[in-house]
Structure formats: structure tokens, C-alpha cells
Chain A
């Protein structure tokens, strides 16, 4: 059983640019959730993808968008980067059955720095 992987590990962008972060879910899981963790804070829920559709969203603007692919991997896209977008971005994979999302297992994260 493979764990959750994310790429790249680190990324440096400038304000106004666009970025794409990638996540491969754990074997057997069908759901991916994305979280933003600012320095010294707990992670904040961005959104969840299930069956290739957004299935719940936190308090983040539309310039944060995502995709889920048929193999359940996912991308997080952020447009018009702002300095406050600098953070650790975590993805978590899980199984969703009926109305329940099971335990979420996290990847190592992507550290995004916006200059």
C-alpha cells in the first residue's frame, strides 16, 4: 500500500503568478482534500474532491481551484498569487462511502513561498 505523495516539495513564485500543486492519493482511496497551513497555525480546509467533482469548500476565494482525475489523484491550482498565499499546502486522501468521509491520511506537503 503506497502512501500519499505530493509534488513539488518546495516552490517559489512571485505575486500575480499561477501555481499548480499535485497529490497522489493512497491506494484504495477515492477522495482528496486540500488544506492550507500558514506558519504557526493549524491547517485550514480549502476543498474536497470526490468522483472528480468539488464536494465541499472552505472559506477560500475562487482563485483557488482544483481537479481530480480518474485515478483519484488531484491538483490544486492557485491563480493571481498573493503574499498571504505563502504556506504549507497539505493534501489528504480518504475513502468516502455514503455520507461519510473516513479517516484522512496526509501527504508531506508542498511549501509555497510567494515573493
Chain B
């Protein structure tokens, strides 16, 4: 079975400072991992995805994440926060079957990112 745990329910940073949102995963198979962002009263937007290629994944809006198998982690980072980054962030794993996937996405509980001016 697969699962994800987001280690912080709320992160607060000042504008222009680095962002770190932490995620640990559990998977019996080589996982497909994603970060999605949800702005208030909006749907989910894909930030980036890892599918067993490069371990450092670059996404949109300056975000990136590093897949670390030894630590079962997939933390999301950004060098400099912008006010528009304030949102809910979800770490997601795709439920795998070994030789395929089920199409089911398993979401963490979310991390609320607050950006202070």
C-alpha cells in the first residue's frame, strides 16, 4: 500500500525567504510522486512530478523537489517566496501495481503556506 505524510500542517515564511514543505512517502513499488497546489476556492494545479527519471525535479513558478529514496522523502522547495505562493500544497503518490498503476491518487493532508510581507 502507498501513503504520504506531510510533516507540517502550516508553514509561515516571509516574502523573499526560502520555502521548504516536507513530505515522506511509503510505497512498495517505485513511486510516482506529485506536488499539487490549491489556491483558495480553486481546483488543484500540478506543480511538478517525479516518475523515476532525474531525482531533482523542477516545476512551475520556481518550485523544485528532490526524491530521496534512502529517506523516503520528496520535499518541495523554492529559493524565494512570493506573496502569490500563499496556498494549500498537497504531496501526492500514485497507487502502483508494480507493472502499472490503478489511477488512484493518494493525497497527504496538505500544508498551508502563509507568506508574510
Contacts and interface: CB of A to CB of B under 8 A. Distances in A.
B104 A106 contact: no
Given A42-B90, A90-B43, A105-B46, A99 B105 contact: no
B61 interface: no
B108 interface: yes
Interface residues of B, number: 23
B109 A96 contact: no
Interface in A59-115: 90, 92, 94, 96, 98-101, 103-109
A107 B43 contact: yes
B100 A33 contact: no
Contact of A48 (B44, B97, B103): B103
Nearest to B97: A99
Contacts of A104: 103, 105
A32 B103 CA distance: 10
B57 interface: no
Contacts of B52: none
Contacts of A109: 42-43
Contacts of A6: 43
A100 to B, nearest CB: 5
B31 interface: no
A2 interface: no
A33 B100 CA distance: 17
B42 A45 contact: no
B36 A101 contact: no
Interface of B: 34, 36, 42-46, 49, 90, 94, 97, 99-110
14 contacts: A4-B43, A41-B109, A41-B110, A42-B90, A42-B110, A90-B44, A98-B100, A99-B99, A101-B94, A101-B101, A101-B103, A103-B49, A106-B44, A107-B43
